[in-house]
Each structure stands twice: as C-alpha cells, then as structure tokens.
Structure 1
Amino acid sequence: MGSDHFVRITRLRALIDHENTGAGERATAERMLDRLLRKTADHAASGAAPDRVYGSRHHRAGRHASTASIVESVREDIAFARTFVAAGAPGEVTVHSPLAAAPAELTVAVTTPFADQIVVTITDIPPAWGWEPDEFDRITATEDLRRFADELAEIIDSYNHDGADVGPRFFRTIRAQETTLIR
C-alpha cells in the first residue's frame, strides 16, 4: 500500500472518530474509507489472511452472525442511504448516491429465503426511470436502475467474505420486479 493511501486512510479515520464530525459527514467518510480499503486490498490492517477477502462491514455483523441479522443490517444501511443527502457548500465536491437519487416510490425488499442467500427485490419502479427498449425492442433496465442495483450489491457484499480456504458467507441476488439484474 502506498504512502498516499496510508495518509488518506489515517485522515478518514481521524475524521470518523472526531467528536465534532456531523452524522452526514461521518457516514460519507465511512463510505469513502470502506471503498479505499476495498480498492487497496489492505488485508494486513484487518488481520485477514492473504487468501481471504472480507467485506468492509463484515466485522459489524459479527463473525458468527446469522444471515437474518445481516439482512437487518443491510436493510438499515439501505434505508439510511436512501435518505442521506450530502449538503455541500459552494465549491465542495458533491457526493452522488444512486440510492438517494432514485425515485421515492421505489420499494426495496430484502429477504433471506434460505440460510445462505440474500435476495433484494426492487418494485414500484417508474417505467420511464427504470425501463427502456433496446435495439431489438426488448425492455431492459436503464443505466439508472443498474447503478441502483450495483449500489445495493456493494452494500450487501460489504458484509460477505470469500477465500481459497472458505466459501462465501452467503450468496446474493438483486431483482427488479421479475428481472434478475445481479447474481
């Protein structure tokens, strides 16, 4: 890991831990830190073996957490992300969240039909926002709906683990109405 990543990680952790950091700013800093740690694959800092990959929120649910308790954490993260609005001052970089930018009438249901599977179903999708015809006149998901699904997958994957000596903690599926977007 380069020294510039170390400095960014240190600054983000200091911002997260500072008592005067607002809730919105703390949440943004936590997401940035999660993404940075995931991108740099800094497993040594988390104590992980080099042949295992742990999601950035794996520790929050607990090592032996049930899939049902992980689903509750995922629901809370999605609810927060849908209501989070980063109000920036002029000249500041604004944070774009596909979850917060999505239409309010969207419904997101997170279920666990089996002990090792998490299924997210997106319903009440406005047709103009979520669906468009492709070059063969088939109805497909828009880029906005795909980004929304990708963000949901990122939240879920942050609670998972995988590796050479251990399989994934659970499998996930993201559906938009009757269409599977991500497996």
Structure 2
Amino acid sequence: MGTDNFARISRLRALIDHANTGAGERATAQRMLDRLLRKTGAANTSRAADRVYGERHHRPGRHATTAAIVESVREDISFARTFAPGAPGEVIVHSPLAAAPAELTVAVSTPFADQIVVTIDDIPPQWGWESDEFDRVVATRDLRALADELAEIIDAYNHYGPDVGPRFFRTIRAQQTTLIR
C-alpha cells in the first residue's frame, strides 16, 4: 500500500471518528474507506479485529457522547431495579440490583467527558457495611456484588484493545468510598 493510500485512509478514518462529522458525511466517508480498503487489499489487515466491544456498545451508537451512554446506563439500572422474578417453578436469576434495599439510591454522572461515575447512597448500615478483623468498616459481600453488577452494566458500553484506549473510564462509589475503579 503506497504512502498516498495510507494518507487517504488515515484522513478518512479521522473524518469518520470525529465527533462533529454529520451522519451523511460519515456514511459517505465510510463507503469511501471500504472501497479503498478493498481496492488496496488492506481490508483484512484492520487493527480493529483485536478490539473488544461490550455487548451493548452498539446501542447508543459508535459516536455517542458520554452523556448519551450515561442515559443508557441509567435506563439499564432502572430496569434491573424493577426486575420481577418469573412464575413459580421457573429458574430465578439473582440480581444484586433487584435484591438491594428499596431505600438505596444509585446516581450516574459524568463529571468529565471520558468518565462515568456511579454513586450508591442511602445504604442501610447493616446491609452495606461491616467491621473486619482490624475493626475497619468495609463493604459487605452484598454491596460488593452490587458494585460488580453496576460495573458490568457500564462495561457493556465500553471498548478497548491494543490499538485504542477505552471509550471511557468508570468509577463505582458507595457514599464516599470507591469500590471499583
């Protein structure tokens, strides 16, 4: 592949990935890139094959803002909190979000363009906190399971790979304590 084609491919990829590119212009640039990659035989050498995409990465869209992803995460959390078990005799899937106390609140925010922070508040002390052997207050197994489930929900919208960093970073907090970074 010549230097001229490399420059064209780089420019097209930059245009496609730019946040201010319109939908029509992005689609045109994508078609041009696909034709160029087929013509040069570079279609099979894409570095994107090593990328790992979360199962819901496509839902808000490839070029969605972090705010749009936060809205999708909020919807998923709301749905998981109202999850109703099946009919008698059906297998019940355990969800820490659905099993969490009703007074517990979960807030999702994006303080920076590339960070999503989930804060769990109003945690009943007997449910969320316990003392360890050194008399330190630590999160209970239930609270840690809740934090793990929240991290899974957020990670479903992320991507990462050897040639690209994550789409965003996430932090799970329980009141003032960071549980997952």
Q: Deviations over 1:3-33 (max 9, x none)?
A: xxxxxxxxxxxxxxxxxxxxxxxxxxxxxxx
Q: How does 1:140-151 map to 2 (within 5 A)?
A: 140-151=138-149
Letter in 2 for 1:76: E
Letter in 2 for 1:51: D
Mapped partners of 1:172, 1:51: distance in 2: 22
Mapped partners of 1:171, 1:86: distance in 2: 32
Instruction: Give the Å deviation of 1:162.
Output: 0.2
Q: Which of structure 1's runs of 4+ aligned residues deviate more than 2 A?
A: none
Mapped partners of 2:136, 2:97: distance in 1: 25
Instruction: Give the Å deviation of 1:49.
Output: 3.7
Letter in 2 for 1:179: T
Mapped partners of 1:178, 1:62: distance in 2: 32
Task: Using structure 2 for the length normalisation, give the TM-score.
Answer: 0.73
Q: Percent identity?
A: 80
Instruction: Give the Å deviation of 1:51.
Output: 1.0
Mapped partners of 1:99, 1:164: distance in 2: 32
Mapped partners of 1:120, 1:103: distance in 2: 17
Instruction: Give the Å deviation of 1:87.
Output: 1.8
Higher Cα Rg: structure 1 or 2?
2
Mapped partners of 1:128, 1:85: distance in 2: 24
Mapped partners of 1:153, 1:121: distance in 2: 12
* Structure 1: gaps of 5 or more residues: 1-47
1:99 paired with 2:97, answer yes
Over the aligned positions, Cα root-mean-square deviation in angstroms equals: 1.4
- How many residue pairs are counted as aligned between the two chains? 136
Mapped partners of 1:165, 1:97: distance in 2: 34
Letter in 2 for 1:127: P
1:127 paired with 2:155, answer no
Question: Residue 109 of structure 1 aligns to a residue in which SS?
Answer: strand
Letter in 2 for 1:111: S
Letter in 1 for 2:140: T
Q: Deviations over 1:23-63 (max 9, x none)?
A: xxxxxxxxxxxxxxxxxxxxxxxxx9431000000000100
- 2:109 match: 111
Mapped partners of 1:165, 1:146: distance in 2: 32
